[in-house]
Amino acid sequence: MVSPMPVIYNVSPVMPMDLAKAFPGVDTIQLLAYFFIPGFVSIKVYDLLVPRSQYRDFSKDFYEAFGYSFMNFLVMYAIISNEWLNTQMGSNVILSSILIAILLLCLPALWPFAYLGLAAK
């Protein structure tokens, strides 16, 4: 009798085991893209809209970029986790590339405009 193989998660040395269990099959680069790039884009667009007297030190603002990216992920989770959309994206590389560019670059660039519009009211 053959015993079943245990489930082994794809764990890189950089990603902690708990995070690997939370996101099975997701690579570290994908997590970086989901949880850092959108926040970085939002911070850069906000800095362009609201001039600062000194330059931003991104070594200190890593957690802020992560927080903005996490909020972006929460808002966009319905789109990211849509089963029908995932099956369509799997068969169409161009559609998936456009959707990823919108979710990771375009929408995070619009959040500072929305924030400044709400703050002005």
Structure tokens at 70: 């996490």
46: containing domain: 17-120
**pLDDT tens per residue across span 13-66:** 444 445 556 666 666 777 777 788 889 899 889 888 988 777 777 777 888 888
Residue at 43 is within a domain: yes
Assigned domain for 3 exists: no
* DSSP letter string, 18-53: HHHHHSTT--HHHHHHHHTHHHHHHHHHHHHHS--S
- State the pTM of this model: 0.66
Q: Does residue 80 fall inside a structural domain?
A: yes
Per the structure, the count of domains in the chain is: 1
The pLDDT value recorded for residue 83 is 62
Examine residue 76 and state whether it is found in any structural domain, yes or no.
yes
Tokens 């009211």 belong to which residue?
A: 121
Q: Is residue 2 one of the residues assigned to a domain?
A: no
